[in-house]
Structure 1
Amino acid sequence: MHAPFTMGPALLFCPADRPERFGKAADRSDAVILDFEDAVAPGDKPGARDAVLEQLGAGGLDPERTIVRVNPVGTRDFELDLQALERTPYRTVMLAKAESAEQLRALAGYSVIALCETAAGIVNASAIAAEPNTVGMMWGAEDLLASLGGLSSRNDDGGYRAVALHARSTVLLAAKAAGKEAIDSVYVNIPDLAGLLAESADAVASGFGAKACIHPNQVAVVREAYSPAPEAVAQAEELLQAAVAAGSGVFQFKGKMIDGPVLKHAEATLRRAGRPAR
């Protein structure tokens, strides 16, 4: 049985061929994703694996806060990635371009975040999420649109196209239906921190447990979105105290009818604040 995924909320990608950045990325984020896939040029992948192994000699990173993104199943690089991983203490893996439940079985013994970023991956998201070693689900916008023959995941106003929103919702629903965590895709417009904050706030409100980042400057913004305001925490505590006092399933509070789902929203707010719920 794999432990629930608890890293987050800000997960920071770091190219695995840049060992001088490993420690900085870990220090600046809630968890670092050492990337063997898209962030590393094909000719540099052997050096990336060597860099991760050599870094272990200096103490390595905390395995509880480290994820390794491997290349897609069926590629030679995937096999070489696994050979390298076996020599490390890192046991949380992000599988790039996950497309079927069977692929997850190639990572038996690892806790896997399935990155669904192709049409097949989105269509099979529920089956992938149901695999026992899947601990989290993430979606990827740009690779998805590329797999569809599209041009861009976003409209001119910066918002996602309908097909991207469908994929985002599909992965979120599949993850939560299987009791797994959901991770929102990266925000590629690095200077647009306001846009990142708005998208991160939507991720929180929608139920994503974490968001991936591609630059250290994005981490604080994601954390801000996931950290409830003091007034929201106070309101949640007051509401839950009122629920205890009411002692019934449905009650009135400040002119509003309160039932189970509203109380769960309040409990989620307290969890994000690091406080125990009722």
Structure 2
Amino acid sequence: MTFDLGPALLFCPADRPERFGKALEKADAVILDLEDAVLPSAKASARGNIIDADLDPDRVIVRVNPPGSDEFASDLTMLSQTDFRTVMVAKTESASSLDVFDERFSVIALCETAKGVHAADRIAAHARVVAMMWGAEDLVASLGGTSSRREDGTYRDIARYARSRVLLESGAQGKGAIDAVHIALGDLPGLAAEAADAAASGFAATACIHPDQVQAIRAAYAPDISEVGWARSVLAAAEDERGVFRFEGRMIDEPVLRHARSVLARAGL
């Protein structure tokens, strides 16, 4: 199982069905959210909205409530009445909690608590998991903190650690990694910088919470013409070389060639 839905994943509250189609038009995939975006009193009707949704199942992720919550079992029952098979599990804290999913489902484990980040290696190794995502605000709240970011907008060290750990454990198991949302809606430059760093670091996608954020994410993940040209040239040069070689004043070895292949993959080539 692989994760390849595109770089911009847009959350949409499951109690707003009038937004489902528009969200999917804007983004590479839509995350229909049954958890934090929906009030407890609206969760039952939100499940009905997902059952009734006429959307491409290959581009839909359903975020369910945390394992062990009162709503989780109802979410699973609802999924069996749909064609949606990619599930994001909120506040995943153990690999065993994912055993309820059979081979029909692909799971995106959302590690957004101290327990979840601590268990990221075991969660990433689960057979149903195709990708991991991390969340900053719930993580800091689980530690008793009050803010994931400093006054200048950069992440505090604990958030940076969680981001790195989820990326590393995902990569160690050959799974995709999804970067957290940028909650400052008006800060498109900050989002663009974070998404560019995510793409360069190895994340497969960045989640977002507003359609206006989609283009900044796509642009950040798309390599520019010069990057694509370099990748093509260095890979062509490697066909005539063995082992380490010199190219445009730079030492080239297999890790650098893998970087080049990643650039072309992000460019869709």
TM-score band, normalised by shorter chain: over 0.9
Equivalent residue of 1:106, what SS? coil
* CA-CA distance at 1:54 after TM superposition: 2.4
Q: 2: CA distance between counterparts of 1:113 and 1:231?
A: 33
- Structure 1 gaps of 5+ residues are none
1:233 aligned partner: 228
* CA-CA distance at 1:52 after TM superposition: 1.4
Q: 2: CA distance between counterparts of 1:261 and 1:66?
A: 34
- 1:41 equivalent among 23, 39, 42: 39
Equivalent residue of 1:7, what SS? coil
Tell me whether 1:249 sits opposite 2:247 in the alignment: no
Equivalent residue of 1:135, what SS? strand
Tell me whether 1:100 sits opposite 2:123 in the alignment: no
Matches within 5 A, 1:115-130: 115-130=110-125
The RMSD of aligned alpha carbons is: 0.7
Q: Is the contact made by 1:8 and 1:211 (CA closer than 8 Å) also made in structure 2?
A: no
2:27 aligned partner: 29
1:188 aligned partner: 183
Q: 1: CA distance between counterparts of 2:227 and 2:249?
A: 18
Tell me whether 1:63 sits opposite 2:50 in the alignment: no
Equivalent residue of 1:245, what SS? coil
Equivalent residue of 2:199, what SS? helix
- 1:113 equivalent among 85, 102, 108: 108
**Counterpart code for 2:78:** A
User: Per-residue CA shift, 1:186-235, capped at 9, x if unaligned?
Assistant: 00001100000000000011100000010000100000001000111011
**Counterpart code for 2:99:** R
Tell me whether 1:78 sits opposite 2:72 in the alignment: yes
User: Per-residue CA shift, 1:85-106, capped at 9, x if unaligned?
Assistant: 1000000000000000101102
- 2:84 equivalent among 90, 96, 100: 90
Matches within 5 A, 1:207-222: 207-222=202-217
What is the identity percentage for the equivalent residue pairs of Structure 1 and Structure 2? Answer: 58
* CA-CA distance at 1:245 after TM superposition: 2.0
Runs of 4+ with deviation above 4 angstroms: none
**Counterpart code for 2:13:** P
